[in-house]
């Protein structure tokens, strides 16, 4: 038996879709093109290629529901660390590293190595959170995530870290680059047809989790990136924009980046 919520959203979805077709006088041919696009995304979608999510993301849907979800939760006004979309490239079971290790597996001499550090804090009390998990992932300088790129070792540029009793964390990663989302599927075709560019500003993804706290999915963005105000999936928020600062006296990193995550308890 259908739940009341399911009845409500399906009635609304159907109404809006019918209105959309009437308002735009959608023809059979145009409808079939839409169906082909959905089938195309389905055919491409597997564990490594999340084309359905990419397609809806370029329409701004994931960013919109992210905003709705966390505004409903009352977190949009007085924000702890803001959320941002998950995107298609997270993988579960990223390697666990000790504090201070690097997620860069193959050296990447051309990469802008970065020392990232900060604390994970309780938003209400400001107290450090012990044993918080920080799950991080970002692209290589060629703009590809490890699962998109056979030349990278498995699980390159991904890792999980656990805070100590002082709530602190630190590790080495790369300063990421802006890059185009994959263009070889329906999402790319749609962008091309709309004369839209495919660029995401340079970003690092995170999922933070700690016992007793609401998990946080977010991204941080490089202020100096030229696409910072023009993200193809509309995910940038002011409070998530960060500065990569020159780092002195560390042969392992050219840049330093500090960021504190503030989590909300249940
Ligand atoms: C999307 C998100 C990403 O983080 C990314 O790197 C590429 C695409 C997306 O939301 O579709
Ligand atoms: Fe990404």
Residues 37-65: tens digit of each pLDDT: 999 999 988 878 899 999 999 999 999 99
- The answer to which of 108-112, 115-119, 125-129, 204-208 has the lowest mean pLDDT is 108-112
Closest protein CA for atom 7 of ligand 1: 181
**pLDDT for res 110:** 77
Mean pLDDT of 147-152: 92
pLDDT of residue 253: 95
Q: Within 6 Å (CB) of ligand 1, which residues are found?
A: 53-54, 57, 62, 85, 87-89, 181, 200, 233
Crossing angle for the helix pair 28-44 and 186-193, to the nearest 10 degrees:
140
* pLDDT for residue 171 is more than 70: yes
Please determine, for residue 68, whether its predicted confidence score (pLDDT) is greater than 90.
Answer: no
CA of 166 to the centre of ligand 1 (A): 33
Task: Please give the pLDDT value at position 211.
Answer: 96
Distance CA 249, CA 230 (A): 35
Ligand 1 atom closest to Cα of 50?
11
For residue 29, pLDDT beyond 90? yes
| For residues 228-248, average pLDDT | 94
- Tokens found for residue 259: 């960021």
C-alpha 203 – ligand 2 centre gap (Å): 6
* Residue 108 pLDDT level (bands cut at 50, 70, 90): confident
pLDDT: which is higher, 80 or 160: 160
From the CA of 219, give the closest atom in ligand 1: 4
Atom of ligand 1 nearest to the CA of 179: 6
Pocket test for ligand 1, best of 49, 51, 60, 88 (most atoms within 8 A of CB): 88
Averaged pLDDT of the chain = 92
pLDDT at 106: 81
Q: Say yes or no: ipTM exceeds 0.90.
A: yes
The rounded Å distance from CA 181 to ligand 1 centre is 7
User: Of 104-108, 120-124, 243-247, where does mean pLDDT reach its minimum?
Assistant: 104-108
Residue nearest to atom 1 of ligand 1 (CA): 87
pTM value is: 0.82
How much is the average pLDDT of 79-104?
93
In this structure, the number of other CB atoms found within 10 A of the CB of residue 14 comes to 10
Taking 60 as the threshold, does the pLDDT of residue 76 lie above it? no
**CB-proximal residues (5 Å) to ion ligand 2:** 87
Would you say residue 77 has pLDDT above 50? no
% of the chain residues with pLDDT over 90: 84
Which protein residue has the closest C-alpha to ligand 1 atom 11? Answer: 54
CA-derived radius of gyration, the chain: 20
pLDDT of 156 above 90: yes
Closest ligand (CA of 182): 1
Question: What share of the chain has pLDDT > 70, as a percent?
Answer: 97
Tell me how far the alpha carbon of residue 219 lies from the centroid of ligand 2, in angstroms. 8
2 CA from centroid of ligand 2 (Å): 36
Q: In this predicted structure, what is the pLDDT of residue 146?
A: 94
């Amino acid at each position: 038996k259908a739940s009341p919520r399911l009845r409500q959203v399906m009635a609304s979805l159907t109404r809006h879709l019918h209105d959309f077709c009437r308002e735009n006088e959608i023809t059979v041919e145009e409808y079939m093109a839409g169906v082909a696009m959905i089938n195309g995304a389905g055919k491409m979608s597997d564990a490594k290629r999340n084309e359905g999510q990419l397609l809806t993301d370029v329409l701004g849907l994931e960013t919109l529901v992210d905003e709705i979800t966390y505004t409903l939760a009352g977190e949009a006004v007085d924000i702890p660390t803001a959320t941002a979309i998950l995107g298609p490239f997270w993988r579960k079971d990223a390697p666990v590293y000790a504090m201070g290790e690097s997620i860069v597996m193959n050296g990447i001499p051309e990469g802008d190595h970065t020392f990232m550090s900060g604390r994970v804090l309780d938003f209400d009390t400001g107290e450090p959170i012990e044993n918080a998990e920080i799950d991080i992932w970002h692209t290589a300088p060629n703009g590809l995530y490890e699962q998109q790129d056979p030349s990278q070792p498995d699980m390159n540029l991904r890792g999980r870290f656990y805070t100590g009793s002082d709530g602190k964390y630190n590790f080495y990663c790369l300063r990421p680059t802006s890059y185009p989302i994959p263009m070889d599927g329906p999402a790319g075709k749609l962008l091309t047809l709309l004369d839209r560019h495919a660029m995401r500003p340079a970003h690092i993804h995170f999922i933070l989790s700690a016992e007793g706290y609401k998990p946080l999915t977010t991204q941080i963005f490089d202020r100096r990136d030229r696409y910072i105000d023009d993200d193809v999936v509309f995910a940038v928020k002011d409070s998530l924009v960060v500065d990569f600062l020159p780092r002195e006296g560390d042969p392992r990193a050219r840049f330093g980046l500090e960021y504190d995550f503030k989590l909300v308890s249940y």
